[in-house]
Structure formats: structure tokens, C-alpha cells
Amino acid sequence: MDARIEDYALIGDEQTAALVGRDGSIDWLCLPRFDSGSCFARLLGDDDHGHWRIAPAGADTCTRRAYRTDTLVLDTEWETADGTVRVTDLMPQRDRAPDVVRVVEGVSGRVTVRSTLRLRFDYGSVTPWMRRTDGHRVAVAGPDSVWLRSTPAVRTWGEDYGTHSEFTVGEGERVAFVLTWHPSHEPRPPLIDPYDALEHSVGDWRRWARRCRYDGPHRDAVVRSLITLKALTYAPTGGIVAAATTSLPEKPGGVRNWDYRYCWLRDSTLTLGALLAAGYHEEAEAWRNWLLRAVAGNPADLQIMYGVAGERRLPETELPWLPGFAGATPVRTGNGAVDQLQLDVYGEVMDTLSLARGSGLPTRPHMWALQRSLMRFLESAWRQPDEGLWEVRGGRRRFVHSKVMAWVAADRAVRTLEQHEDLDGDLEGWRRLRDEVHREVCEKGFDRERNTFTQYYGSRELDAALLLIPRVGFLPPGDPRVVGTVDAIRDDLGHGGFLRRYDTEDSVIDGLPSGEGAFLACSFWLADALHLTGRTKEARELFDRLVGLGNDVGLLAEEYDPVDGCQLGNFPQAFSHVGLVNTALTLYGDDRAG
């Protein structure tokens, strides 16, 4: 398979998601949740690891494709010698069971279309037993059952452990396929009407998109990013996964292949801010409520990430039967970084809950008690070394960003008490803590010779996370130390006009082979920092270039390789799309955001 990451588009039902290639093949789908085992894993292997392709006979990649305006409904068209055909893909918001709907429609002429379905459960390792019943093809293996039907019915046959169909459509003729998953021990769920599902999905998405308050430049990209964040939300709990995929490489053929189908606390403040500023208060409240449930318990046990329902055990496992995307191995599920100590998450949680309180979201009775508990732990723990924001696997350091976020935690606790006299807490003690952290960071985390903050105490290395110093209020944007840090990071970590997270070539902290692309979230942070330090023209030029990195349907991965001009890392990446939304709001002001 010669696909690129940017060849894919996303469809989903707010509980899981599928990736559809330019060749009309669904190559990734986990059922019934984002983090379940996949039934299509061609993305990380080959045809026999599961996929479902619908395309004209003999055709390769499509002629064009696009989402219907302000929706997650995808139209893919092929122009052939015999005519033009369109395949519309969607996953309706589910009632009981997840459904994939694929509507084939003749646009002109008469076109012969082929459907090839290869179901492989448990990440391509299990071939199900296929049978016919009640006009369906039914696949069963262990706990999984998938039903396939078409409307009107077309002939299907089994061959090479796959289910095949071939039919012809003329102008205005339609054939709809519906694939439905349910637990194999339960009866088949009620059937949906695929054409009604299409109509309702278009209407639902457009009504949701109309709530967006942003009306500045690149509005289409902002709305597409918000739709993507909505699609990456696990609706039953409000948790937002970092991406829909696992093990898409951060370096071609490399080992930086991680499972991102979980919810990271590092994203919490920026995500909440984007949703609130864009007008999506219900989604913001659901995310805040997920956060409160996930982090409840002993503050010493706070994790950097959780499952979509707040699960804590996410053991990392390798899947050796999958050859990986373009040969990048190992393929992993779970994420071993869940056991790391990252002190910055305490600041993220405190900042998120402070933002939620200040934005008028309904408070919860236990929210302040939880925050006080976090602060009691942080009062003694903040001096410890940790693995830092980027989940390094080369040993703990005293990362400057982690210490800055400890300052954020103390600062938000102080501000909350100053603004809400009805709450109780150690105001003077937290003020002293805030001052102590600030002094230490400025003394031990700052390189006076180069006029820049450093990645960790005593180092000469830099870290793009330091660009957040003015954003979180640790120092004002006009402070010479902030300007110096922005300039140093741009000079040292610049990569093809964008920005890397840190230097992986000469660094000892990473614990992994060197090499990765420009990190898109950090590049958006650079645009924010340039604007805050008075270089708005440069910031807007960078923002324009970043928006232009989206693929043909407006989706961004985690990273971008400016040398080979391709996207890298898991896809689509919530952190990148959050960055796009927040930078648009930063650059173009509240007057453009309602």
C-alpha cells in the first residue's frame, strides 16, 4: 500500500471513527469505541488485515472528494470512460449500534461498481465466519458480529475470505450499503434507513456548525477543525481522544509510533478555551465534567491520560503481525506513558477548572475540594523531576515547562480565592508557593547568556512548550526574557518555516532514535507568541501557511515533514486542530468571534 497519511478523510459517530482513503477504501475502523480492536486495519498492514473498498471497476484513486459543507458527510467521485459515480460515506449518530453507511449514486452514464469487504477483527488477526441470513451477510467471531446489507439488494458472493459485489448504476440510480456491528451474543439491532440517515446527518451537522461564533479569516478551516474535535469526542462521557488512530509514525519507517486513542490532560485548557470561545458551551461543559470524573481520587495518582470513559489502565502492547504504516514498526496499542510523572498536568487541571469557573459553566459541589486536594499534593511535589510534557523516555529532568505549570496551579488557586470569598483555602501559603516557583524558574531555568528559558534546569537545550509562558501569564509578552525565548526557539527549533518540539538529533532526554517532523501544535503556538510580542504580520503569515498544510478535506495530522511535504503522526490530531482554532481567535480578536 502506497497511501500517505493525508490521503485519508474521517467519518464518525462521536463514539468511534473510520478513515476513508482516496481510493474509496475504509482502511481503519475500531468498533464499538475509538479504543476497541479494529475490524479494518489495512492502514497499518495490507488488504488481508481488513478493509472495505467501493469504487468503479478498474479505477484507482478518485477524481475529487469533499465533505458536504459544514458536515462530516464525505462525497467521493470518480470520472470514468463510462460515466461518473459518487460514493457518499457517513456514520450516523447511533441509537444502539454503530453503522457505516455508503451510498453509491450514478451521476452520469452507466458505471460498473465493485465492493470488496474484508472483515478482520482484533486488529487484523481474526478472520470471522461469514454466513447469509434474512438478506444479510453476517460475520461472527468471538464477541464481534457485523451485518451487511444493501438497499436495493445486490448480489454478493464470497471469495478469498472476502465478500464481493458488482453492480451497475446509471444517472440518478442509488445503491446503499449498511454495515452494522453489535455484540455477537445479542440479537441484531433495529435496521436503519440509509437514505433517512444521510438526510438527518447532513441536517444535524449543519445545525451544529451554525453555532460557531467565529467569523474571521479562514472560517471554513476553523469550522472544519471544530467539526473534527466534535468527531473525536466520545459522546457518552464528553472525553475527547487525541486522535482516531494508533501507530501512525512521527518519522517514516521509525519507531515513534504511539496509540493516541485516549484523552490527554495536557490538552484540557486549550481545548476548553477553543470550545468556549467558539460558542460550544455544552461540549465545553461535557469535557469539564469528564475531566472531573477522570481525575477524582488521590492527587498523587493523577495520570497524564485516561481512557474515553476515564479508564486508568492503558497497558502498552505490540502487535507483531501488523507490518505498520509504510513499514513503521512496532505497531502499539495502549500507551506506556500513562505511568509517567508529569507535573504540568496539575497546572493544566487547575487552569482548566479556573477557566470553566470564570466562563460561567455550572460549578460542581466537589470541584473546589478537588482543587484544594491537588494543591496540597503539589506544595511538596513540585520540586521533583518528571518526564515532562512530551513524555520522554530517557529519564526524568526538572523541566522548565513543568515548573511553569506548577506556578500556574498556584496562581489559579490564588485568583480563585481572591475572586470568590465564599471559598476557603490557604491563600497566603499559595501566594508564597507561587512566588517561590517563579523565583526558582527565573533563576535556574533561564540562560542569561543567550537570553532564553531552557528545556530543563542547567541545560542549553530549548523546548517549544516555553512559548506558552506569556499565554499562561507567567511573564508579560513584552518582557525581554519572553521575546528572547521566542526568538531563540524560532532560530534553534525552526524546521522548514515551522517548528519542532525540541531537538531530537543531539538530545539525550528522548530515549529514542532521532528524527521527527515539525510539530503543528507548536507551530501554532509560535504564531500566537509572535502576535503577543508585537509581530502580528509575521504571525498571520505563519498562520496562513499552517492552514495550508491541511489535506484536501482540511484535516491535520500531528506533524508535518517540510522536506518531503507530507503529514506525519496520528490522524486527525485534536491538538493540531485545537491549535488552529485558538490561533484564529488569538490573531483576529473577539470582534470576529461574537
Q: By CB neighbour count within 10 A (0-12 exposed, 13-18 middle, 19+ buried), where does 111 fall?
A: buried
Instruction: Name the strand (E) or helix (H) holding 527.
Output: helix 520-532
| 168 DSSP β-pair partners | 112
The whole-angstrom separation of Cα 264 and Cα 239 is 9
Q: Which pLDDT value is given to residue 254?
A: 85
Q: For residue 211, give the DSSP letter.
A: T
| pLDDT for residue 591 | 45
Cβ contact 189:180 at 8 Å: yes
Give the closest residue to 480 by CA, choosing from 439, 444, 452: 452
Amino acid identity at 40:
F
User: DSSP per residue over 12-79, as a string?
Assistant: E-SS-EEEE-TTSEEEEEESSSTTSPEEE-GGGS-GGG-EEEEEETT--S-SEEEEPTTSS-EEEEEE
Per DSSP, 337 falls in state: G
Helix (H, G, I), strand (E, B) or coil at 566: strand
Output the CA–CA distances (angstroms, integers) from residue 435 to 78, 438, 443, in the order listed: 63, 5, 12
- Burial class of residue 366, CB neighbours in 10 A (0-12, 13-18, 19+): exposed
Structure confidence at residue 506 (pLDDT): 63
The span from the CA of 280 to the CA of 211, in Å, is 7
Which residues have a Cβ under 8 Å from the Cβ of 416 and sit 6 or more positions away? 354, 357, 368, 371, 423, 425
Distances (CA, A) of 69 to 88, 202, 506: 13, 9, 45
For the chain, the residue count is: 594
d(CA 541, CA 527): 9
Measured CA to CA, the distance from residue 14 to residue 198 in angstroms comes to 16
| Residue 572, C-alpha cell as written in the block | 486527525
Distances in whole angstroms, Cα of residue 368 to Cα of each of 24, 284, 290, 350, 512? 50, 18, 16, 10, 40
Interhelix angle 194-209/219-231, nearest 10 degrees: 120
Q: Are 10 and 19 in contact (CB under 8 A)?
A: yes
| Contact of 90 with 197, CB cutoff 8 Å | yes
For residues 267 and 422, what is the distance between their CA atoms, to the nearest angstrom?
30
CA distance 594 to 590: 6
User: pLDDT truncated to tens, each residue of the chain (594 aa)?
Assistant: 577 999 999 999 999 999 999 999 999 999 999 999 999 999 999 999 999 999 999 999 999 999 999 999 999 999 999 999 999 999 999 988 999 999 999 999 999 999 999 999 999 999 999 999 887 899 999 999 999 999 999 999 999 899 999 999 999 999 999 999 999 999 988 899 999 999 999 999 999 999 999 999 999 999 999 999 999 999 999 999 999 999 999 988 888 899 999 999 988 889 999 999 999 999 999 999 999 999 998 999 999 999 999 999 999 999 999 999 999 999 999 999 999 999 999 999 999 999 999 999 998 889 999 999 999 999 999 999 999 999 887 889 999 999 999 999 999 999 999 999 899 999 999 999 999 999 999 999 999 999 999 999 999 999 999 999 999 999 999 999 999 999 999 999 999 999 999 987 766 676 666 678 899 999 999 999 999 999 999 999 999 999 999 999 999 999 999 999 999 999 999 999 999 999 999 999 754 433
Q: What are phi and psi of 478, to 5 degrees?
A: -80, -5
> With contact defined as beta carbons under 8 Å apart, do 228 and 212 qualify?
no
Contact by Cβ (8 Å): 471, 528: yes
Angle at the Cα of 415 (from 411 to 421), degrees rounded to 5?
Answer: 145
Question: What is the pLDDT, as a whole number, of residue 252?
Answer: 87
Residue 570 to residue 563: CA distance in whole angstroms:
19
DSSP state of 209: H
The pTM of this model reads: 0.96
